[in-house]
Amino acid sequence: RIGSATSLSSAIVNTRLQELVKLFRERTEKVKEKLTDPDVSSDDESPTASPAPPPVPPPGGEPGGDKPAEEEHYCEMLCCTFKYPPWVHRLKNYQFPSSIDPFTNLMYVMWLFFVVMAWNWNCWLIPVRWAFPYQTPTNIYLWLLMDYLCDLIYLLDILVFQTRLQFVRGGDIITDKKAMKENYLRSERFKMDVVCLVPLDFFYFKVGVNPLLRFPRCLKYMAFFEFNDRMEAILSKAYIYRVIRTTAYLLYCLHVNSCLYYWASDYEGLGSTSWVYDGEGNSYIRCYYWAVKTLITIGGLPDPKTLFEIVFQLLNYFTGVFAFSVMIGQMRDVVGAATAGQTYYRSCMDSTIKYMNSYRIPKIVQNRVKTWYEYTWHSQGMLDESELLVQLPDKMRLDIAIEVNYNIVSKVALFQGCDRQMIFDMLKRLRSVVYLPSDYVCKKGEIGREMYIIQAGQVQVLGGPDGKTVLVTLKPGSVFGEISLLAAGGGNRRTANVVAHGFANLFILDKKDLNEILVHYPESQKLLRKKARKMLKNNNKPKDQKGGPADPLIIPPKADTPKLFQAALAATGRMGDKGPLARLRWRLKELKAMEA
């Protein structure tokens, strides 16, 4: 009994150890798979919810009764128990960040939008309230309410946001609260923010509510320019915003001029001369119309009568010519920057067409070149991607290459198990090439020195007796020509023609570039050489040796002669050429000669 108990315990221990070994092996495989392909999600990262216990029936055994309380969750359907929407919970649990990145934080950009709106309120409406009779005792409280709401936004910007902005000192990003506050207090922006909040409103008790006392609020222009920089950084088409901003500059100049014209008319007396505003119609629209005709120098205005009117009109003309020329020049720069790529594309195409005409290139070739230019530009937005990334440092170019090409390259069987950094270095050497319909990517018999990865489009592998039979169609993500990268003796020859079926965008990796990379990764080089030999061996092996069906033969080959029979024939040959075995031996030689 003691021996049986010991054996039973040993069996249990062995079983448990085997289970542990199995679990460790599975975990090791998962970790290895995750290291090889980080996109693979593990089971630990996405646990499944345990099934809910079945409802307990009532004591009588009948269906129904009290159901277990369901967990409350937010849902828009009436079948579920309602709870607060998710954004309410996020709002309740939200904690204001202790430091803010002014370059990437979208919340800070939204806050700058409100600050700029408050700044625009002061810049646009202070001149209107000063010149036009729109501020009356009946609506003065609404004007003051909006004024002090803008002041509150200014104050919150100083106390809450500006003191939490990160900054760079000595190459380090500073996130310390005290250091960020001291940096803001020593900056030029803090001085302007304090000046723009000078409380001149106390003079209201002495001179009345004069909007000109709020003029320092317009000095918060640094927030406006910072908002412009952030918007241009986050917008995909920043030139549209630049055009809108330049147009707003012109409209604001006209706005200020219309306010000055009404003030001059009121100073001279409304309707006193033919030059001043006569007081009829909408005062702002009529004065704005006069400002447009003056600044743009359209003409058709009444002649000024008094010296004040002449001086005012001369200053308007000079200001209009200067401002309008500046606006036109700035608009030209904005439009030129927006269409710089299109202009470069047109100039390259025109130069190529001029070159082809000078050498009398056939029209068929010229049309294909034009088609390549048009498709490449419309599909990529540029002619050469490398020109766009050449100014970036290697680290940023690698990050972009990983996002664009890693998912495709990581699926290539030849590179499975190689050093991850080697693949990263290889990504930076990939070249993007566009092929037109019916273009030959590679031809049969030529030396292969490149590997191709299909990014977009399809290619067809042609073969057969006439070389035009479609053997297979390769789609995006497929790879071909990878064995030629590591083949010895100058590269192996292509065994088939590969033609682009429609427009195809391919990534190309040159053999020279790969060899330069493998110098620094000897282990990966050994692995690739081994895989290449194996793949070449499999490609050169006949199908019947791989276990697949061989091509049907008209005269099937005969079975091999048994070894015992061969020994008898050899003995007969040594004894002499007489007898039936000798004749049979002679017959077998004839058959072998016929087979050869």
Question: pLDDT tens, 290-318?
Answer: 998 888 777 778 888 899 999 998 998 88
Contact in structure between 422 and 524 (CB atoms under 8 Å): yes
Residue 545: pLDDT over 70: no
Comparing 340-344, 484-488, 509-513, which segment has the lowest mean pLDDT?
484-488
pLDDT score, position 572: 59
**447 and 307 together in one domain:** no
Distance CA 378, CA 367 (A): 17
Measured in whole angstroms, the distance separating CA 495 from the mean position of its chain's CA atoms is: 38
Measured in whole angstroms, the distance separating CA 67 from the mean position of its chain's CA atoms is: 50
| Count of helices and strands (H, E) across the chain | 20, 8
Percent of the chain's residues with pLDDT above 70: 77
Q: Given the structure tokens 């910072």, which residue do they identify?
A: 226
Question: pLDDT tens, 187-200?
Answer: 999 999 999 999 99
pLDDT score, position 262: 94
pLDDT band (50, 70, 90) for residue 184: very high
pLDDT score, position 2: 52
Contact in structure between 492 and 483 (CB atoms under 8 Å): yes
**293 and 203 together in one domain:** yes
pLDDT band (50, 70, 90) for residue 286: very high
Domain presence at residue 264:
yes
Which comes out higher in pLDDT, residue 440 or 397?
440
Torsion of CA 262, 265, 267, 269, to 10 degrees: -140
The count of domains in the chain is 2
Residue 462: CATH number of its domain: 2.60.120.10
pLDDT score, position 569: 58
Which comes out higher in pLDDT, residue 162 or 87?
162
Comparing 284-288, 371-375, 561-565, which segment has the lowest mean pLDDT?
561-565
Residue 486: pLDDT over 90: no
Strands 479-480 and 469-474: unpaired
The pair of structure tokens assigned to 120 is 């625009």
Residue 110: pLDDT over 90: yes
Domain presence at residue 487:
yes
Residue 583: pLDDT over 90: no
Domain boundary residue, one of 295, 322, 349: 322
Question: pLDDT tens, 131-150?
Answer: 999 999 999 999 999 999 99
**141 and 252 together in one domain:** yes
**200 and 114 together in one domain:** yes
Percent of the chain's residues with pLDDT above 90: 27
3-state helix, strand, coil in the chain (%, to 5): 60, 10, 35
Question: pLDDT tens, 350-376?
Answer: 999 999 999 888 988 989 889 888 888
Residues 6+ apart with CB under 8 A from 454: 474, 475, 476, 477, 478, 479, 504, 505, 506
Q: Indicate left, alpha or beta for 361 from its phi (over 0: left) and psi (-120 to 50: alpha).
A: beta
Domain presence at residue 31:
no
Q: Which amino acid is at 412?
A: V
Which comes out higher in pLDDT, residue 370 or 80?
370
Query: What are the two backbone dihedrals, phi and then psi, of residue 447, each rounded to the nearest 5 degrees?
Result: -75, 130
Q: Which amino acid is at 352?
A: T
Mean pLDDT over residues 91-96, rounded?
A: 76
Domain presence at residue 282:
yes
**156 and 273 together in one domain:** yes
Distance CA 587, CA 596 (A): 14
Torsion of CA 62, 65, 71, 72, to 10 degrees: 140
pLDDT score, position 109: 93
**309 and 403 together in one domain:** no
Which comes out higher in pLDDT, residue 378 or 111?
111
**273 and 134 together in one domain:** yes
Contact in structure between 412 and 482 (CB atoms under 8 Å): yes
pLDDT band (50, 70, 90) for residue 151: very high
Comparing 160-174, 206-220, 224-238, 520-534, which segment has the lowest mean pLDDT?
520-534
Distance CA 42, CA 27 (A): 10
Residue 507: pLDDT over 50: yes
Q: Identify which of 17-31, 240-254, 377-391, 472-486 has the greatest average pLDDT.
A: 240-254
- Local structure of residue 100 (DSSP, 8 states): B
**407 and 296 together in one domain:** no
pLDDT band (50, 70, 90) for residue 255: very high
Q: Identify which of 32-41, 309-318, 401-410, 411-420 has the greatest average pLDDT.
A: 309-318
Least Cα distance to 170 among 162, 179, 161 occurs for 179
User: Considering the chain, what is the average pLDDT of its residues?
Assistant: 80
pLDDT band (50, 70, 90) for residue 60: very low
Least Cα distance to 309 among 260, 355, 275 occurs for 275
Contact in structure between 439 and 447 (CB atoms under 8 Å): no
Comparing 19-33, 416-430, 518-532, which segment has the lowest mean pLDDT?
19-33
Which comes out higher in pLDDT, residue 271 or 578?
271
Domain presence at residue 489:
yes
Contact in structure between 134 and 209 (CB atoms under 8 Å): no
| HEC string for 258-289 | HHHHHHHHHHHCCCCCCCCCCCCCCHHHHHHH
Residues 6+ apart with CB under 8 A from 238: 231, 232
Least Cα distance to 162 among 189, 144, 138 occurs for 189
Residues 6+ apart with CB under 8 A from 168: 174
**305 and 430 together in one domain:** no
Mean pLDDT over residues 382-411, rounded?
A: 75
pLDDT score, position 156: 95
Domain presence at residue 477:
yes
Query: What are the two backbone dihedrals, phi and then psi, of residue 212, each rounded to the nearest 5 degrees?
Result: -65, -20
Angle between the 307-338 and 283-295 helix axes, to the nearest 10 degrees? 70
**318 and 202 together in one domain:** yes
- Number of residues written out for the chain: 596
Which comes out higher in pLDDT, residue 213 or 328?
213
Measured in whole angstroms, the distance separating CA 422 from the mean position of its chain's CA atoms is: 24
pLDDT score, position 272: 87
Domain presence at residue 341:
no
Comparing 10-24, 94-108, 569-583, which segment has the lowest mean pLDDT?
569-583
SS3 470: strand
Domain boundary residue, one of 287, 322, 357: 322
- Local structure of residue 430 (DSSP, 8 states): -
pLDDT band (50, 70, 90) for residue 182: very high
pLDDT band (50, 70, 90) for residue 552: very low
pLDDT score, position 469: 86
Domain presence at residue 420:
yes
The pair of structure tokens assigned to 580 is 């039936």
**258 and 404 together in one domain:** no
Question: How many angstroms separate the first and last alpha carbons of the chain?
Answer: 76
* Domain with 414 in it: 392-540
The pair of structure tokens assigned to 71 is 């967990």
pLDDT score, position 143: 94
Least Cα distance to 454 among 478, 437, 480 occurs for 478
In this prediction the pTM is: 0.63
Domain boundary residue, one of 287, 303, 322: 322
Residue 568: pLDDT over 90: no
